[in-house]
Amino acid sequence: MSRDTEDAPVSRRQFLQGVAGAAAVAATADSASAQSTKTVEVGPGGNYVYTPGTEDPLYVAPGTTVEFVWKSDNHNVNPTSVPEGASWEGHKPIENNGFSFESTFETMGTYEYQCDPHAGLGMKGTIIVNESGQAPSSGGGGGPVLPDSAKAIGVATLGAMLSVLSLAFVFLKYGGDYDTPE
């Protein structure tokens, strides 16, 4: 670019074209992120778990595709609870290491599933579809967190104060001869 065009003022038309282009890129990026693929490992390391599972549910936005990838043998993905209006059927046949299947989650809500042969061992999973595709924030309502060392000092101080008060009571009530000569 020459110095003359580099410093030239931007016309209203050029500005609007730039804004429209940026909006189109942002809209494309947003829809692409909503339709991204997430992965759930089935039986990783030969363990009877889904990763992520129930303790750490997978949060996704509507339209996200989830790929279930078998990492060990003799597992399935059988839905035990789906949101009203959802038609997710999981994958009920027992499969082995190397198998995978995908599902796209459109309906918002909580999807719970289990491995039928290993449900008694706790092999269960949860997918939560919400608008943001993220776990809800704690909101900061819990207040500041007090470190364990500060709690220990507080308990020790309270114990010391109660000891001093108890000893003062005992000495005032039972200790010493306080009779004064008349």
**What domains, with CATH codes, occur in the chain?**
33-129 (2.60.40.420)
The H or E element containing residue 24 is helix 12-34
61, 132 contact by CB (below 8 A)? yes
For residues 127 and 113, give the distance between their C-alpha atoms in angstroms, rounded to a whole number: 9
Q: Are strands 75-81 and 64-70 parallel, antiparallel or unpaired?
A: unpaired
pTM: 0.59
pLDDT in tens, the chain (182 residues): 555 555 667 676 665 566 566 555 555 544 444 458 899 999 999 999 999 998 999 999 999 999 999 999 999 999 999 999 999 999 999 999 999 999 999 999 999 999 999 999 999 999 999 999 999 876 655 567 778 888 899 999 999 999 999 888 888 888 766 666 66
Q: What token pair was written down for 69?
A: 């990838």
Q: How far apart are CA 59 and CA 129, in angstroms?
A: 6
Instruction: Give CA–CA dist 49/126, Å, rounded.
Output: 11
Q: Strand locations in the chain, DSSP E?
A: 37-42, 50-51, 58-60, 64-70, 75-81, 91-95, 100-105, 109-114, 124-129
What's the pLDDT at 139?
Answer: 61
pLDDT value, residue 118: 96
Residue 32: predicted pLDDT: 47
pLDDT value, residue 31:
46
